[in-house]
Structure formats: structure tokens, C-alpha cells
Amino acid sequence: MDTSTQNLVLQLQNGSLDALGALYDRFNQMVYRTALGITGDAEAASDLLQEVFLRMHRFADRIDPDRPLEPWLYRVTANLSCTWVKRQRWLRPIEDIAEWLVKDHKSSPAQIAESNETWGEIEQAIAALPLAQRTVIVMHYVNNLSLKEIAEILDVPVGTIKSRLYYGRRELKKQMRSQEGVLPNVGYEFT
């Protein structure tokens, strides 16, 4: 854990709400993006974001300040998100993920519209994945975590993560191929 995060955790353990606010400012996007990717629901992701930081406050004494905080946050977020999904009888498509992914880029309105359409189809495919595969896909591709990091966070062997990623990608490709126009044929022009 970097020293500034470590100091904030120590302050939090001593009851500092300012430290909790600073940790929230530092890590809220990571937590929200993970929850949104797993749940597919912007409102639920916002609620889970708050719940993760409430738990951080409530269980601050259980956080080891000598270890990185991110794996703890990912684990709590993934667990809460998976619990939320299991409670749902149906899944809605991932809301607003296309806007979130596109907003960091300077694009023309036509490019944004095309990206939104494509991401709408991708988010439906992700939402259709089994929960274990969806969690690994989101952690790997949205949060850019390594397989080893995901394995440590989820407390499963790296081989299991590789398997979930492989089958998740395979299922996504299968679903995307079945949707007309999502994966366009690429042709090369020779001059």
C-alpha cells in the first residue's frame, strides 16, 4: 500500500471521517465501475458504492494497513455485487456503460452514436453471461486487473480465472456473432 493510502487507513482506524472521505475520493470510480459491470444496473452500482464505503468504515479495524487496499475493495465490491445479482430474478442491460467508456474520448457525434449502439449490444451480451464469468470479464477488461490479481481478490486458483475468462470470451464471441452487424466483416483493399 502506498504511504498516503496507508496513512489514510490508519487515520480511518482511529475514527477519522475525513480519511474515509479521502479514500472515497480516491477509489469511488474503481468501485462504481466494478459494481456497474457486474450488476448491469447504474442505480444498484451507486447503492453498492455507498455500501462498500460504509463497510470500510464499519470494518476499518479489519483492514491491514500494510497490504494494498485495492484487493480488499474489489473483493467487497464483487461479493456485494454478486449477492445483488443473485437476488434479482431478471437482469437489465448494463446502463450507461457506453457513455462512461466513450466520455473519456473526444469523438464526433456520429462516432459516439455508433459506439453507443455497439456497446448496447455488448452490454446485453455481458449481462447474459453466467455471474462467475461476468465478474472475471469485468475485472479483467474494465478494471485492467491481471489474472493473478483477480485470483487473489476472488480467492480462487489462477487456473479457475483463466477458465472463466476463456469460456466468458467464447460465449461473448458466440453471442456477438449471432447479432447482425456487431462484428463486421473486415475486408482489405489491395491497390
Domain with CATH 1.10.10.10 in the chain: 128-181
Tens-digit pLDDT profile for residues 97-154: 444 444 554 555 555 555 556 667 777 788 888 888 988 988 888 888 899 999 988 8
The C-alpha cell at 190 is: 489491395
Inform me whether the pLDDT recorded for 187 exceeds 80: no
Pair 175, 137: CB distance under 8 Å: no
For residue range 58-73, list pLDDT tens digits in order: 999 999 989 889 999 9
Percent helix, strand and coil across the chain, each to the nearest 5: 75, 0, 25
Local confidence band at 2 (pLDDT 50, 70, 90 cut-offs): low
DSSP string, 3-27: HHHHHHHHHHHTT-HHHHHHHHHHH
Task: For the domain made up of 128-181, give the CATH fold.
Answer: Arc Repressor Mutant, subunit A (1.10.10)
Instruction: Tell me the whole-structure pTM to 2 decimals.
Output: 0.62
pLDDT of residue 112: 52
Q: Where in the chain is the domain with CATH 1.10.1740.10?
A: 1-91
C-alpha cell at 122: 455488448
Q: Is the pLDDT of residue 191 over 50?
A: no
What is the pLDDT, as a whole number, of residue 97?
Answer: 47
Domain 1-91 has CATH 1.10.1740.10: yes
Query: What's residue 180's pLDDT?
Result: 52
